[in-house]
Structure 1
């Protein structure tokens, strides 16, 4: 290929990139949505598939698109995650990134604590707890299935509070004077079961990240246990790690 042909080919890639970039900016392809197949998209744009792939690759390098080897190209979702060493609620984390948090209550009831829950929360077996399960979304896109078990002795009446779009941490702090101080938090990878996949708008077996927490007030009392199942393409966990100083 001559230098002139190289220049022309580069110009076509640049034009294709700009057209796709503009389409993403205008929301032609929604966040989390799949683009048309490469053959159809190339025909629509009037370019070769090799040219199209170069333009798509540039957008992927900019973290605006992502590719699944089996399912094609997708518009990348906003990725959320806790800042290193900072404990935030889902709502606080979303707002700090300029996103709109939303919740749908899937299940909310007061019940006796199970034995393992009572052990973790340092309460007597069968003490009353609130079991709360919500689907959490960002700008209308489902991101997380969030389950919490709260000690009701610390927050009497919480079962009657509408927690549809309220931060649980902020409700405990503002309504009950409980200052959430720290959390023991672990994360592991898993595959989405059918029920979770349907809620998160992913395929059964797709990867998810599961965060499990035990959260304490400032006096060291356990307040709640939580289990958050995140889409793996929408969540990132960060942490500060320190190497011990050797003598």
Structure 2
């Protein structure tokens, strides 16, 4: 395998010493180097082939592959063996919709609309949205990449601000585009809080994962072009399919508003 040979040329024992690094960790580093040069869905070499090419013991190699499988970097498919799984990359500071970001992942995106309902606002939603009559519309959706569930989302908006929104079928339909075309409201900026949680029975069923599997929990508070609270959203993302990154341009040009309003 050419990538394996490249690794030996770049990182062979004659050019780099591994000290205090276990054979399993060394094998993981080698395998990640190999996967970086492979395409999504490409067949992963067999353990026997890798053992011969890389020169790592079968035991260490098996442990390293198990680690890559657990982290979602390779997957096992019936009759195909192991294949490379390129995670969809999301930018924490991007104000484009989740669907727009996932569309750039190079995989087929499908949005499954589960349901919409009008209900009383929960305290945390009320605090952000300042709901007049206490009613919100909740929209629940699942996004699939290549028919594999990757996100479950609950979007909450003020009900009387968006009449009839609960009647819209959001199957393969963007919420933000709907708000712009139907209500002339645009999502402009917001704040995200990212944490870890374990899948419970409900989330496991929606995302087709095991109970207890690690998930990203992302809470978003979004404002419209009039600086008014627009949307309170909670999303759960499968960690083995999604990777978050922080990317911003001109961040060092940022200045606090130093306008002196005192008289």
**TM-score > 0.5 by shorter chain:** yes
Unaligned runs of 5+ in 1: 1-6, 11-16, 30-34
Given candidates 111, 119, 140, the residue that maps to 1:103 is 111
1:124–1:154 distance in 2 versus 1, CA, 3 Å: closer
Residues 172-213 of structure 1 show CA distances to partners (whole Å, capped at 9, x for unaligned) of 112211011011111011111122123222221111111000
Tell me what 2:245 maps to: 238
Tell me what 2:122 maps to: 114
**Conserved in 1, the CA contact under 8 Å of 2:116 and 2:167?**
no
Structure 1 residue 53 displacement after superposition = 8.0
Q: 1:95-174 residue pairs with structure 2 within 5 A?
A: 95-124=103-132, 126=134, 128-174=135-181
**Conserved in 2, the CA contact under 8 Å of 1:66 and 1:76?**
no
Unaligned runs of 5+ in 2: 9-30, 77-82, 256-263
Q: 1 CA distance for matches of 2:109 and 2:138?
A: 21
Q: 1:151-230 residue pairs with structure 2 within 5 A?
A: 151-230=158-237
1:146–1:26 distance in 2 versus 1, CA, 3 Å: closer
Number of aligned residue pairs: give it. Answer: 206
Q: 1:40-59 residue pairs with structure 2 within 5 A?
A: 47=48, 50-51=51-52
Residue 81 of structure 1: SS of its match in structure 2?
strand
Structure 1 residue 28 displacement after superposition = 8.7
Aligned-residue CA RMSD (Å): 3.8
**Conserved in 2, the CA contact under 8 Å of 1:154 and 1:223?**
no
**Conserved in 2, the CA contact under 8 Å of 1:90 and 1:167?**
no
1:27–1:190 distance in 2 versus 1, CA, 3 Å: closer
Tell me what 2:68 maps to: 66
Tell me what 1:79 maps to: 87
1:89–1:185 distance in 2 versus 1, CA, 3 Å: same
Q: 1 CA distance for matches of 2:245 and 2:40?
A: 31
Structure 1 residue 73 displacement after superposition = 5.5
**Conserved in 2, the CA contact under 8 Å of 1:114 and 1:125?**
no
**Conserved in 1, the CA contact under 8 Å of 2:39 and 2:86?**
no
Residues 111-158 of structure 1 show CA distances to partners (whole Å, capped at 9, x for unaligned) of 2323332221022352x3111111111121110111111112332111
**Conserved in 1, the CA contact under 8 Å of 2:214 and 2:238?**
yes
1:53–1:133 distance in 2 versus 1, CA, 3 Å: farther
**Conserved in 1, the CA contact under 8 Å of 2:218 and 2:235?**
yes
1:105–1:52 distance in 2 versus 1, CA, 3 Å: farther
- TM-score relative to the length of structure 1: 0.68
